[in-house]
Amino acid sequence: MTTDRIRIYTLAHRLNLKSSELLDHCHHLQIAAVHPSSSITIAEADQLQNLLAKNGQQSPQVSAKAITPETQALAAQSQDLDLRDPSYYFNRELSWLKFNQRVLHQAFDPQAPLLERLKFLAIYTSNLDEYFMVRVSGLQQQVAAQVITRSIDGLTPQAQLETIHRVLKPEITNQHQYFIQTIKPQLAAAKICLLDYASLNSQQTTYLHQYFLEQIFPVLTPLAVDPAHPFPYIQISASI
């Protein structure tokens, strides 16, 4: 690997210019450079510096000839940088899962107050609901359309779905176990009880029945679903 070439973005940084500005000057001098990662020879860099000096944009003392050995070493390393390499990128969908993992870890923190941990469990689940409605459904649509194009990180839509399943299955299992084995008993100890209908006494069931008749039933809207009436769009997050 020779060190007699330098990337546009490296030279632009050295000369305190934007890469786009330096590329404009390359076009003016007919230097073959079309992208910030394009490399040019040191002689071409000298031509650019001379042009900048004539235009009064850069002091002649800061020339390409004055590039330090450290900068030349950096330029040499940049020759090996392939920005198309998937290893340089994080997948957008999987990166979001990492974010939601941090929310779940807040719920697992024993130093946090009990209701705060319960709230973080709820936030984690609410986030996943939206994630599946928007992002996972988008991937499923791509799979249904037989899209096999890889994203910049190298994954096809099908591979992304498989990875999401592999990451979330044990994570959601841990969430449920933590709620049942840790959070729920602590809530009961604090006299906050989560009961199913079968465990209610007659007074409680009577109250719920009356509450349904007076508060819930009046706002329910019957909908007919048949071939002439397709199933309506229901906004899940809509407030009542």
Burial label for 127, CB within 10 Å (0-12, 13-18, 19+), is middle
Q: What is the pLDDT along the chain (240 residues), one digit of tens a residue?
A: 445 788 888 888 888 888 878 888 888 888 887 777 778 888 888 888 888 888 765 544 444 444 556 656 665 555 566 677 777 788 889 999 999 999 999 999 999 999 999 999 999 999 999 999 999 999 999 999 999 888 888 889 999 999 999 999 999 999 999 999 999 999 999 999 888 889 999 999 999 999 999 999 998 888 777 777 777 776 665 544
If you search the block for the tokens 């729920």, which residue do you land on? 184
What per-residue confidence (pLDDT) applies to 63?
A: 45
CB 164 within 8 A of CB 137: no
What per-residue confidence (pLDDT) applies to 240?
A: 45
Question: Which residues, 6 or more positions from 7, have their beta carbon under 8 angstroms from its beta carbon?
Answer: 36, 37, 38, 39, 75, 78, 79
- Residue of 228, 238, 226, 124 whose CA lies nearest to 175: 124
- Does the CA dihedral 105-110-113-118 come out positive or negative? positive
Tallying the residues shown for the chain, one arrives at 240
What per-residue confidence (pLDDT) applies to 43?
A: 85
CATH of 90-215, one of 3.20.20.140, 3.90.105.10, 1.20.58.310, 3.40.50.150: 1.20.58.310
Q: How many CB atoms lie within 10 A of CB 198?
A: 6
Q: Where are the domains of the chain?
A: 5-81, 90-215
Helix-helix angle 42-54:19-28, to 10 degrees: 90
